[in-house]
Amino acid sequence: MPVGCGADAGLALNDLETKKLRYFIAIAECGSFAAASRRLNVAQPGLSHQMTNFESDIGAPIVLRSSQGCRRPKPASFS
């Protein structure tokens, strides 16, 4: 299914990208990798590895990890 508009109108998400987005949403909603892995029924190390790869693909952190769980980074402001 095409997403975007303009020059990106023909770009389609593949299954791997969709899975990474599903994983990210679960982590953001659950607040931890452990809870998200249980919700998704996947191993926590695999989930963490997928998110590390996703962040590498994007070129920026999308999950801030801490001993109390994780959260999304604050959006950057452009002046």
Tokens of 32: 């931890």
Across the strands, what pairs with 2? 12
- Where residue 20 sits, what CATH number does that domain have? 1.10.10.10
- Greater confidence, 3 or 79? 79
Asked if residue 5 is part of any domain, the answer here is no
Asked if residue 19 is part of any domain, the answer here is yes
Q: Dihedral angle at the C-alpha atoms of 5, 18, 68, 64, nearest 10 degrees? A: -40
Tens of pLDDT, residues 13-70: 677 788 888 998 999 889 888 999 999 999 999 999 998 888 888 887 877 776 676 6
Asked if residue 74 is part of any domain, the answer here is no
71 close to 64: Cβ distance less than 8 angstroms: yes
Asked if residue 35 is part of any domain, the answer here is yes
Q: Which residue range(s) make up the domain with 48?
A: 13-69
Asked if residue 77 is part of any domain, the answer here is no
- Given the structure tokens 């191993």, which residue do they identify? 43
